[in-house]
Structure 1
Amino acid sequence: MKFLSRKQREHAARIKRFREYSVRKENFLRLQRKHVTNRKIKSNLEKKVIIDLNFSSYITILSPKPRKFLRKITKKFREYYYRGDVCIRLNFKDTKKMFADGTLYLLAELETLTLINPLITFKIIPSDEKIVNQVLQQTGILKLLKLTLKFETDEFDESVKYWNYASGYNSEIDSADSMLDDFEQILSEDTSKNVFTSLTEALTNCHHHAYEEKRFSTETKSIKKWWLFSQEKDGVLTVCVCDLGIGIPRSLTRNTPLVKEDWFGRLKDFIKLNKEKYNHDSAAIKAAIEIGNTRTNLPNRGKGLNQIINKINTMTRHKVSIAILSNYGSYIINRGFVTDLPTTDIINAVAVPYTESIDGTVIVWQIPLDKQNVEVLVKADE
């Protein structure tokens, strides 16, 4: 075995020290760059104006009081569409429950804000209720805001784990394919087809009507999207679709060469007859359902809300509820969906008049799962 000479050993030691120095120097420079970057980020955050927005106990747009509270917050969003020096701190500390309708509407407004103003940043104060925080995670709100929360367990509550979310820019429903596949697993074939038809019709209406005009007179950029939620819980499927367009009442009064000649006269008479009992926007939604299939002469255009309402009456033995919420109005066939409203049928739907407009449209279906029942009936017949 040949030993290195002293000169060779000293040379090897110098090489080792040089290499170690290079590594240490690179590590030092990396840490220094990271520190400078973090300091810049911290400095930028410190320069930002912190806007505190506090949410109420219940996030929903069905009940007037929580709706008014939520609208106060979403109206604030518009003030920061074009300000890059703002950090919005969303305070969910006192929030006890998030309903599908209000949660989807909030998500749509938040995403619209982030798409119009990519420079805006967010902070969050989590809820004292762990299920609320899980909903924020499961529905993609935290991801949208580039925020994270720590959870004690990866296993979410049964009321949360089956929330699903999709969104898109046109009337195609491809981005919700996995959600629709899930429907086929829990609904009978006929009910699943009717849900698909109703959703397609709702998205078609959104695509052709919701974004025909500016949502607000000061609007300079429109986010022409739809948003879709589904949730399975306690033997019931809740499906919710939202757009932030001009709303059904405004779209009905738009005049184009394709509108039927007698449409506006019939619409005016119908609203005049019904607006005292309901309000103007609720009467307009009711008109869209009851006057006719469509306001245009286009044979290839969908049958609108009329078809959506008719479809629910063929599902699961007439047990499906539906709530159509648009601007200040509503049209609700309540078969147990809204506990503080009377039970109604297709011929006596209720309309809740609201003092706050959502400046858009949200449609909610509540559908009892019927696949198992159908299978039991088939076996009994055999």
Structure 2
Amino acid sequence: MRSNRATKGTGAAIDANPIYLKPFSGELKARRHHGDAKLQVPAKLDLYSKPNFETYSRFIRNLRDMAKYNERIILCFRHTHRITAAAALRLLAEVESLQTSHEKLSFGCSIPPKRRGKYKNSDRVIEAVLQQIGFFTLIGQPERAPIKQVDITRWKQSSGSLADGSLAAGLLNSLPTSISKKSKAHLYKGAIEAMANSVDHAYPQNDSEHPERKWWMLVGTTSDKITLLVCDLGVGIPVTLPMKHPESLLKSIFQRFGILGNADADLIHASTFIKRSRTNQTHRGKGGADIRSITEHFPTALLSIRSNRGCYVVAGPQREGSMADGYKEIPDTDGREWSASYNGSIFGTLIEWTVSLKELEK
């Protein structure tokens, strides 16, 4: 194990081999298991509802604190019965980043057992998701036989530290052949812009924790829709937007589109109207406009951008349904745009598009 003493501030000391600094929440238990630090994963790995997002944020904070003082962490999925693609990708990114920044750190995990009752695990869904996104390979834990979950086996994941169009194209080419070339081109523009923003803007210069300036991407296909996700662990849009763009430009966007506040969600909202990236590279598109444009090309599409403590959501003009509790409808948007503010951070940015398969086939 590492040294049994660690300093906090000047002259202060923390007890020998602490597991975590603060027990942020009762549902996030941490203890020692055969000498390893063990952290219980939330029952619902989900970023969509406000309570689940805030629990997830506390979980990430605990995980980061544990990584500072322990050489091996066991993630206990025993009570986890829900996991979404967005939460799975964000967890994969976090664990990979921690392994990179803490050379001696290693991970293990315990998976949910088969059980009866309200939350059955007869299909081993949690294990199937972790297997499909490469989580077991990342932490070096042997896998059991492949689990065939039709929707989950259609998830494809990649990552990189360059705005490499071939990587985005490779994932998009795994989509059903029924999807038109024009539709793939629209998805490609949004994905490549999100990847490039991660590389060019998300991370500060000389970032020792994230020297690779990395992004993570996932494409998922179900029987009726496509989900595309791009994630980074940078400082977040609310931090980079005012640093990278003139105050006069941001002021004009706020005034033109009636953005009244300066919370994280408001800054994310404003970022979708930045028409051209500062890099002006030839393979790049129109900045935030490319990210937003998918909801204009596909009438029932949904775009969600979560960054730090805020979320902005915009739907296509024919999208039906309502948002979860905790989201506020943005005035004068015809019921198509929402925002949310959280008591916790996602520690980076996660962009998600959901598009109907029928619309993509046109």
Q: Shared topology, TM-score over 0.5?
A: yes
Q: Which residue number corresponds to residue 163 of structure 1?
A: 155
Equivalent residue in structure 1 for 2:135, among 123, 141, 144 = 141
SS in 2 for 1:246: coil
CA distance in 2, matches of 1:299, 1:169: 16
CA distance in 2, matches of 1:175, 1:346: 36
Q: Which residue number corresponds to residue 49 of structure 2?
A: 63
The 8 Å contact of residues 97 and 210 in structure 2, kept in 1 or not, is answered as no
Q: How many residues align?
A: 314
Q: Which residue number corresponds to residue 4 of structure 1?
A: none
Report the CA distance shift for 1:82/1:155 in structure 2 as closer, same or farther (over 3 A): closer
CA drift of 1:262 comes to 2.1
Give me the identity figure in percent.
23
Report the CA distance shift for 1:299/1:166 in structure 2 as closer, same or farther (over 3 A): closer
Q: Which residue number corresponds to residue 325 of structure 1?
A: 306
Report the CA distance shift for 1:336/1:108 in structure 2 as closer, same or farther (over 3 A): farther
Q: Alpha-carbon deviations, 1:195-248, whole Å to 9, x = none? A: 011111111211211013577xxx555341100011111221111110111111
CA drift of 1:333 comes to 2.0
CA distance in 2, matches of 1:372, 1:267: 31
CA distance in 2, matches of 1:362, 1:337: 22
CA distance in 2, matches of 1:47, 1:131: 25
Query: What letter matches 1:293 in structure 2?
Result: K
CA distance in 2, matches of 1:146, 1:87: 12
Equivalent residue in structure 2 for 1:180, among 172, 187, 201 = 172
The 8 Å contact of residues 331 and 349 in structure 1, kept in 2 or not, is answered as yes
The 8 Å contact of residues 138 and 161 in structure 1, kept in 2 or not, is answered as yes
Query: What letter matches 1:144 in structure 2?
Result: L
Q: Which residue number corresponds to residue 275 of structure 2?
A: 293
Q: Alpha-carbon deviations, 1:113-160, whole Å to 9, x = none? A: 111123212221211321111111111011111112434xx4511132
SS in 1 for 2:306: strand
Q: Which residue number corresponds to residue 124 of structure 1?
A: 109
Is residue 2:76 matched to residue 1:91? yes
Q: Which residue number corresponds to residue 38 of structure 2?
A: 52
Equivalent residue in structure 2 for 1:340, among 313, 319, 324 = 324
Q: Which residue number corresponds to residue 254 of structure 1?
A: 243
Q: Which residue number corresponds to residue 34 of structure 1?
A: none
Is residue 2:270 matched to residue 1:282? no
Q: Which residue number corresponds to residue 292 of structure 2?
A: 309
CA distance in 1, matches of 2:359, 2:249: 41
CA RMSD of aligned residues (A): 3.2
CA drift of 1:76 comes to 2.5
The 8 Å contact of residues 101 and 240 in structure 1, kept in 2 or not, is answered as yes
Query: What letter matches 1:90 in structure 2?
Result: L
Report the CA distance shift for 1:214/1:106 in structure 2 as closer, same or farther (over 3 A): farther
SS in 1 for 2:291: helix
CA drift of 1:298 comes to 5.1
Report the CA distance shift for 1:261/1:202 in structure 2 as closer, same or farther (over 3 A): same
Between 1:329-338 and 1:347-356, the stretch displaced more is 329-338
CA drift of 1:369 comes to 1.1
Consecutive unaligned residues of structure 1, counting only runs of 5 or more, are: 1-45, 375-382
The 8 Å contact of residues 183 and 361 in structure 2, kept in 1 or not, is answered as no
Q: How does 1:8-23 map to 2 (within 5 A)?
A: none
CA drift of 1:78 comes to 2.6
Q: Which residue number corresponds to residue 192 of structure 2?
A: 200
Report the CA distance shift for 1:268/1:63 in structure 2 as closer, same or farther (over 3 A): same
Q: Which residue number corresponds to residue 222 of structure 1?
A: 211
CA drift of 1:312 comes to 2.8
Equivalent residue in structure 1 for 2:341, among 347, 353, 356 = 353
The 8 Å contact of residues 198 and 307 in structure 1, kept in 2 or not, is answered as yes
Equivalent residue in structure 1 for 2:201, among 186, 202, 209 = 209
CA distance in 2, matches of 1:337, 1:92: 31
SS in 2 for 1:185: coil
TM-score (normalised: structure 2)? 0.76
Q: Which residue number corresponds to residue 25 of structure 2?
A: none
CA distance in 1, matches of 2:278, 2:170: 33
Is residue 2:59 matched to residue 1:78? no
Q: Which residue number corresponds to residue 369 of structure 1?
A: 357
CA distance in 2, matches of 1:339, 1:281: 19
Query: What letter matches 2:55 in structure 1?
Result: F
Structure with a larger share of its residues in helix: 1
